[in-house]
Amino acid sequence: MQRLLLLEIDDVIEANGSMAERRASLNAELLEALRPPKLAGPGNVLEAVRRSYTNNKISLQLEGLPVDDLTPSFQFWEYITAIEEKYRKHKSNADQHSL
């Protein structure tokens, strides 16, 4: 049944030129969205990840947390979550007091 339905759908799409154009456009959009990440050269993903990690590590260290390159990932992200929550509450309290 599934194969029969797919064949019928293909017939409808092939018969309708505008549908074929829409399908080609959608395929192009999907291929653009699924491009592999850039792994070399300027602006590559690996460098962006390293930069984000370093910035987060320094931010945690400025908070007085014992973070270094040997800190387990789970603990590192728990620290990030706790600091985000701390500043979210601080901002919320500041917003309430300014009213």
Rounded CA-CA distance 66/17 in Å is 63
Please state, in angstroms and as integers, the Cα–Cα distance from residue 88 to each residue in 1, 66, 77, 83, following that order.
54, 22, 16, 8
Amino acid 39: pLDDT = 87
Q: What is the residue-averaged pLDDT of the chain?
A: 85
When pLDDT is averaged across residues 42-66 and rounded to a whole number, the result is 93
When pLDDT is averaged across residues 43-51 and rounded to a whole number, the result is 92
28: pLDDT strictly greater than 80: yes
When pLDDT is averaged across residues 10-37 and rounded to a whole number, the result is 76
Q: Would you place residue 15 in the very low, low, confident or very high pLDDT band (cuts 50, 70, 90)?
A: low
Least confident span in 18-27, 66-75, 84-93: 18-27
Q: Would you tell me how many other CB atoms lie within 10 Å of the CB of residue 15?
A: 9
Q: Would you place residue 17 in the very low, low, confident or very high pLDDT band (cuts 50, 70, 90)?
A: low
CA nearest neighbour of 19 among 33, 31, 34, 27? 27
